Structure 1
Amino acid sequence: MSGSGYSVGGSFGGSLGGGYGGGYQTNAPQPAAPAPTPAPAAKVPAAELIKDTTTQTFMTDVIEGSRDHVILVDFWAPWCGPCKQLTPTLEKVVKEAGGTIQLVKMNIEEYPEVAGQMGVQSIPAVFAFKGGQPVDGFMGAQTEGEIKKFLERIGVQIGPSDLDVMLEKADELRDAEGYPEAAQLYGGALSLDAGNVQALGGLAMCYLALGEKEHAQQMLGMVAEDKQTSQHYIAAKTALELAEQAENLDDLGDLRARVEANADDHQARFDLALGLNSNGDKTGAVDELIELIRRDREWNEDGARTQLLQFFEAWGFKDAGSAYGRRKLSSILFS
């Protein structure tokens, strides 16, 4: 690279050449994989996991940076279709690696010098740098599994990420009704991945349990539209709707008295189920709806069964209340 004062890649980069076609060149020989070695211990700060570089900053960002941790350099361009497929997958893998690797992206349309020196002639092209040197690479769009296998070849073992561990612990605490502690962990997860739908949904559920409905609504409002089919979002949204339904109910004692006075007061029994769920009594809520179904399956256009399914959606498939409800529902529907 003229005037750069340093050299990168040499014959290694040249072996990945091909022609600017935006895809993988099958006739390009791959470099021999190095023997796996443990990844460097230094952790990349969350804010630095993914960054862009330039010709001027490449030495600091990549050459020097890779002496502390593995760096993937993604050579891309705005017009490259396969690049648009690969980059989000790379970003996902890097985020899941818990700070053991970093993704540095270089737009070759704006900064062609380094790619040219390394012999990159087809994109997307990804190089792994370790110890100040490129050690392996690939071209073309790859699946998440293929990228992880590539990383294993260079000694990077991706187990559960810090994010995954944090979310798992947060879910456990929430299931055990440790809502303040779970909320703290969900908040920590959002500091690693601001748009994480599991964290946003979990935090919304914590806020609901703590009686802070407006904060729950704010969390759900932060979920990207393309992630609103996630079960984490759906469960939290359904739980919020149930909480809103329960706001205008009569006192539970009054509802129970009405049911005891008239076992066929279906609306009172239905409202009692909503109130019991709002108070955290899932078993009681299930029992009341099951009894309503037993007495009048067609009431309110199958309203009791529909409400029960909505409970399951809010509680989650693996929840003990959902499992109990499914057993009771099956026994009455197929008896």
Structure 2
Amino acid sequence: MIELGGTQTQAPAGDLIKDVTEENFMTDVVDASNEVPVIVDFWATWCGPCKTLGPMLEKAVIAAKGAVKMVKIDVDQNQRLTQALSQQGLPLQSIPTVVAFVQGRPIDMFQGAVPGSEIDAFIKRAIEAAGGDASGGLDDAVAAAEEMLEQGAAEDAAETFAAILQEDPNHAGAYGGLVRSYLALGQVDQAEAALNGAPAEISATPELEAAHAQIELAKQAANAGPVADLLAAVEATPDDHQARFDLAQALHASGDAQGAVDQLLDLFRRDREWNDGAAKAQLFTIFEALDAKDPIALNGRRKLSSMIFA
């Protein structure tokens, strides 16, 4: 386990803590969190509790010796960014608000000044969500099971992932692998049952969030229409938003994730509020289902963010 504190050499604070604006949010928060958890402190100069919490957060981040990084965002100086993030579901009406980003997504948060022990626990959860507390031996077994799955041996992979979970019932990576194995076998119900059986304390990990999205997409695929017919409908009537949305689902079901993302981005550009923001919601589902470092997810998130901030 990565411990906070201790006598090891600490990384320079300048390497771990920085001020961030709208211009570098994607690089220093979303992209950076694919490598290490990023703790985001939303604050303001007039906020009394922020003045107490900020130094406590910095101390805890420095004590983690590079296992996490921290960025500070002045909400008054970055109102457009704050508004855009609020529209995406982050409750930033009250500050201080502290959010942990892992693999490009917010996975945990708290508001207000809290004791140092709660800050340490918050940072530990972020580290563990990024796999910082995993057992090396089990990780080797997970890697072997992933290779089985990649080579098409889904049944063997499922058995291996299940055996790992008998050793460590909280291993999020094994749960994610088990779900993908069942989906590869076409067993959507078993995949959903496996996900529902995961412990509540790991429900917000990136692996389980991805598994949830993968199951949702598998269900959609069962009802997807013919790509050729839907493409013809969109070409005939470009402003037929439902046809474009259905085309995106059909493209993803056929294995063309990039095509699906392109159609959804086009739909979002044409009418971001259509069907209660269905295009953005579907994009997030696809991004969550993909590996966080997948170019389709990385580029798609950037394009979507640029549209939101425009």
TM-score of the aligned structures, taking structure 2 as reference length: 0.50
C-alpha RMSD over aligned residues: 2.9
Of 307, 321, 324, which aligns to 2:299?
Answer: 324
Asked if 1 retains the 8 angstrom alpha-carbon contact of 2:182 and 2:188, the reply is yes
Q: In structure 1, the residue corresponding to 2:293 is in which secondary structure?
A: coil
Are the structure 2 counterparts of residues 226 and 159 from structure 1 closer, same or farther at C-alpha, using a change threshold of 3 Å? closer
Match of 1:215 in 2: 190
Look up the SS of the partner of 1:298 in the other structure: coil
Report whether the alignment pairs 1:285 with 2:260: yes
Describe how 1:93-172 pairs up with structure 2 within 5 A: 161-171=136-146
Alignment correspondent of 2:287: 312
Question: Is 1:274 aligned to residue 249 of structure 2?
Answer: yes
**What is the CA deviation profile of residues 167-191 of structure 1, one whole-angstrom value per residue up to 9, with x for unaligned ones?**
23444665x5746264354234234
Give 2:158's aligned residue: 183
CA contact (8 A) 1:276 1:284 kept: yes
Are 2:210 and 2:289, in contact at CA under 8 Å, matched by a contact in 1? yes
Measured after TM superposition, the shift of residue 332 of structure 1 is 3.7
Corresponding residue of 1:54: none
Deviations 1:28-76 (A, max 9, x none): xxxxxxxxxxxxxxxxxxxxxxxxxxxxxxxxxxxxxxxxxxxxxxxxx
- How big is the shift at 1:218? 2.3
Partners of 1:257 and 1:172 in 2: how far apart?
39
Judged with a 3 Å threshold, the aligned counterparts in structure 2 of structure 1 residues 172 and 286 are, in CA distance, closer, same or farther, namely farther
What letter matches 1:225 in structure 2?
A
Within 5 A, what are the aligned runs for 1:225-240? 225-240=200-215
Whether 2:221 is the aligned partner of 1:246: answer yes
Residue in structure 1 matched with residue 275 of structure 2 by the alignment = 300
Q: Distance in 1 between matches of 2:153 and 2:299?
A: 23
CA deviations over 1:142-178 (Å, ceiling 9, x no partner): x9xxxxxxxxxxxxxx99622012223444665x574
Q: Is the 8 A contact 2:224 2:253 kept in 1?
A: no
Q: Counterpart amino acid of 2:266?
A: E
Query: How far apart in 2 are the matches of 1:163 and 1:250?
Result: 41
Residues 228 and 166 (structure 1 numbering): CA distance in 2 closer, same or farther, change over 3 Å? same
CA-CA distance at 1:269 after TM superposition: 0.9
Q: Given the superposition, is the C-alpha separation of residues 177 and 159 from structure 1 closer, same or farther in structure 2, using an over 3 Å criterion?
A: closer
Cα distance in 2 between the residues matched to 1:256 and 1:225: 41
Looking at structure 2, the residues matched to 182 and 273 of structure 1 have their Cα atoms a distance apart, in angstroms, of 30
**Alpha-carbon shift at residue 216 of structure 1 (Å):** 0.6
Letter in 2 for 1:219: A
Query: How far apart are 1:193 and its partner, in Å?
Result: 2.4
Q: Is the 8 A contact 1:179 1:209 kept in 2?
A: no
Shift in alpha-carbon separation, 1:333–1:177, aligned structure 2, 3 A: farther
Q: 1:244 & 1:197 partners in 2: Cα distance?
A: 22
1:328 is paired with a residue whose SS is helix
Per the TM alignment, residue 321 of structure 1 is displaced from its structure 2 partner at its CA by 2.1
Q: Work out the CA distance in 2 between the residues paired with 1:318 and 1:244.
A: 24
Q: How far has the Cα of 1:305 moved from its partner?
A: 1.6
Structure 1 unaligned regions, length at least 5 = 1-142, 144-157
Amino acid at match of 2:237: N
Kept after mapping to 2: 8 A contact 1:195/1:222: no
- For normalisation by structure 1, the TM-score amounts to 0.47
Q: Report the Cα distance in structure 1 between the residues aligned to 2:301 and 2:170, rounded to whole angstroms.
A: 33
How many residue pairs get matched? 178
Deviations 1:221-262 (A, max 9, x none): 321223222222221112212222332232222212211221
Whether contact under 8 Å (1:200, 1:222) holds in the other structure is no
Amino acid at match of 2:201: D
Distance across 2 between alignment mates of 1:326 and 1:205: 23
More helix by share: 2
Amino acid at match of 1:322: A
Q: 1:206 to 1:333 in 2, by over 3 A?
A: same
Q: Per the alignment, in what secondary structure is the counterpart of residue 231 of structure 2?
A: helix
The structure having more radius of gyration, on CA atoms, is: 1
Residue 213 of structure 1, CA deviation: 0.6
Q: Distance in 1 between matches of 2:147 and 2:298?
A: 17
Letter in 2 for 1:217: E
- Report the identity percentage: 43
Please name the residue that 1:199 is paired with: 174
